[in-house]
Amino acid sequence: MENSMELMRFIFSSSRQTFILAVLAGIGSGLCMVGLLALVNQALHNIGEVTVLSMGLFTALLAAMVFFRVNSTVLLTKLSQKSIAEMRMRLSKKILAAPLKVTERQGPHKLLATLTDDVAALANGIMRLPFLFINLAVISGCLVYMLWLSWWLFLLALFFIFAGIMVYRLPESRALGLLNEARGFADNLYQGFQAICSGTKELKIHRKRREMFFNGPLQEAAQGYADKTISGTRYYSFAGSFGLLMFFMIIGFLVYLFPSWANLDAATLTGYVMVFLFIQGPMEVVVSAIPELAKTSVGLRKIQKLGLDLNLEEEGKLETPDNVQLIESKQWQTISLDSVIHSYYRELEDTHFQLGPIDMSINRGELIFLIGGNGSGKTTFAKLLLGLYEPESGNIKVDDVIVESNNLESYRQLFSVVFVDFFLFEQLLGFEDAEIDALAESYIEKLQLNHKVKVEDGKLSTVQLSQGQKKRLALLTAYLEDRDFYVFDEWAADQDPLFKRIFYTQILPDLKAKGKTVLVISHDDQYFDIADRYIKMDSGKAELSEHMPEIFMDKETA
């Protein structure tokens, strides 16, 4: 019950008026249906005495029932679809608004499982609600009719129905637990799917690896999901069938035993039998909706566990206009880090990596190389500098302004970055310039891709390119952004020697000549001499120097 309450609160918040109207229409249709039942029962007992009035009433109720039913369904479907669409948008925004550290810790497979499985479960539950309401209205109407026929029989029937519901609830909690366990397998399943998509080549080339992959965690997750869902549904179906059994038991009592015990008139008896036969359909809809609603609540809880509470309006926090003012000025001279620390901790592996404490200042217009061994903390440093990770302690300052949550968004707008694991959007997003096509084409020529890629209406003609070519397109986006500060994370690693040379001897000096500040993470020591300064990273400790680190000088002179 509390599951459906949560769900209803969610829909209710989307549009109160429509919701009330739709529920009223549902109740209207239920009442009409019961009126029709009463008329039929009356007609059955007065065969040959049918009046024009009762026929007119029958037709009017029929028309009203269709009218209410159609309107209730349409209104509730509109409402539920609107809340599903809103929820999808809201969740996507929440994921982007959450701290990078949080989303990285969850991993893409968990986010994907939520965006697909949990959202689908929620959507399914929401879509069932209209029918649930209409059928609940029919059941309520039937109860009213039974009360009108005979109050003591009604109390008896009510007792049986409540007893049925209580018995039904016993296996329900077990079933919900099983569905929860099933959902637990979905994360592993999506991890497997992700491996299939990203590791297609590696799996195709090695039969044994592929077999072990399929027979291992993927099979386990797929089977586990199926087994738990089957067991959970079995409990529900057992409970549901028990409910049906109760109905037929009541009908059996009414038909075989009651007439001899109690002095029941025929109209009341047939009225009850008709209602009990009729009510089964709506009851089944309501009962079968319960496991779906349970899955919905499992989904809701999963979404909330990810820290993505759907009722919080946090996603707007980063977009308030006040924030965009603070560090907008292009007049900054220095970005400094004061005792900045960031650490990773992986509970499962019990490993710990700490970057910092870092104290350093980067001046506007400098070309700085960030160098160091694999895993020394270069990318982590870049994410901190870019404001993608918030420092655990210490702070980042732009001149005298401390970067905090209320100006973080505007701070990030100072930077353009190409990461090692960059993502290339086909559409050149975020540009309002009408001349963007021509500008992009000119840069494409500079990047020697004009024979491969065209730009039309701000869209790249293709992104099906080699890794090195794709990286050049990522650089194109950075060029177009025309920000103050450029960060390149091993950008040249996939470039041919000729273009690598162009990058270090033309592109980087060009950016510097334009007054841009550039941080280059690089292992290409033959070009280190073009830098103004160097940050050497070693096991999370950073050292800023005007001189090339000795290890590379030795190599050059050797």
Ligand X SMILES: Nc1ncnc2c1ncn2[C@@H]1O[C@H](COP(=O)(O)OP(=O)(O)OP(=O)(O)O)[C@@H](O)[C@H]1O
Q: Which residues bind ligand X (CB under 6 A)?
A: 104, 344, 346, 353, 372, 374-380
CA distance 211 to 218: 10
Contact 310, 303 (CB under 8 A): yes
CA distance 124 to 296: 7
State the SS3 of 128-195: HHHHHHHHHHHHHHHHHHHHHHCHHHHHHHHHHHHHHHHHHHHHHHHHHHHHHHHHHHHHHHHHHHHH
Query: At its nearest, how many Å lie between ligand X and the CB of residue 382?
Result: 8
Contact 225, 182 (CB under 8 A): yes
Q: Which is nearer to ligand X, 252 or 375 (CB)?
A: 375
Q: Which is nearer to ligand X, 67 or 353 (CB)?
A: 353
Query: At its nearest, how many Å lie between ligand X and the CB of residue 490?
Result: 7
Q: Which is nearer to ligand X, 125 or 372 (CB)?
A: 372
Contact 64, 32 (CB under 8 A): yes
Element (H, E) at 336: strand 334-346
Query: At its nearest, how many Å lie between ligand X and the CB of residue 403?
Result: 20
CA distance 56 to 531: 93
Q: Which is nearer to ligand X, 3 or 376 (CB)?
A: 376
CA distance 353 to 158: 64
Q: Which is nearer to ligand X, 259 or 375 (CB)?
A: 375
Q: Which is nearer to ligand X, 31 or 111 (CB)?
A: 111
Q: Which is nearer to ligand X, 375 or 430 (CB)?
A: 375
Query: At its nearest, how many Å lie between ligand X and the CB of residue 540?
Result: 7
CA distance 283 to 275: 12
Q: Which is nearer to ligand X, 169 or 346 (CB)?
A: 346
Residues counted in the chain: 558
Query: At its nearest, how many Å lie between ligand X and the CB of residue 195?
Result: 18
CA distance 397 to 339: 11
Query: At its nearest, how many Å lie between ligand X and the CB of residue 375?
Result: 4
Peptide bond into 217 cis (omega under 30): no
Query: At its nearest, how many Å lie between ligand X and the CB of residue 476?
Result: 23
Q: Which is nearer to ligand X, 282 or 377 (CB)?
A: 377
Q: How far is CA 548 from the centre of its chain?
A: 46
| b/e sequence 228-244, b meaning 16+ C-beta within 10 Å | bbebbbebbeebbeebe
Q: Which is nearer to ligand X, 58 or 353 (CB)?
A: 353
Query: At its nearest, how many Å lie between ligand X and the CB of residue 455?
Result: 31
Q: Which is nearer to ligand X, 330 or 346 (CB)?
A: 346
Contact 229, 182 (CB under 8 A): yes
Query: At its nearest, how many Å lie between ligand X and the CB of residue 374?
Result: 3
H-assigned helices in 343-386: 378-385
Residue appearing with tokens 């925004």: 93
Element (H, E) at 363: strand 351-363
Contact 125, 292 (CB under 8 A): yes
Q: Which is nearer to ligand X, 87 or 306 (CB)?
A: 306
Q: Is 33 helix (H, G, I), strand (E, B) or coil?
A: helix
Q: Which is nearer to ligand X, 78 or 101 (CB)?
A: 101
Query: At its nearest, how many Å lie between ligand X and the CB of residue 104?
Result: 4
Element (H, E) at 37: helix 16-45
Contact 353, 344 (CB under 8 A): yes
Residue appearing with tokens 């210490």: 394
Contact 342, 319 (CB under 8 A): no
Q: Is 273 helix (H, G, I), strand (E, B) or coil?
A: helix
Query: At its nearest, how many Å lie between ligand X and the CB of residue 449?
Result: 26
Beta-bridge partners for 545: 534
Q: How far is CA 529 from the centre of its chain?
A: 47
Query: At its nearest, how many Å lie between ligand X and the CB of residue 376?
Result: 4
Nearest residue to 7 (alpha-carbon basis) of 71, 68, 76: 76
Query: At its nearest, how many Å lie between ligand X and the CB of residue 425?
Result: 23
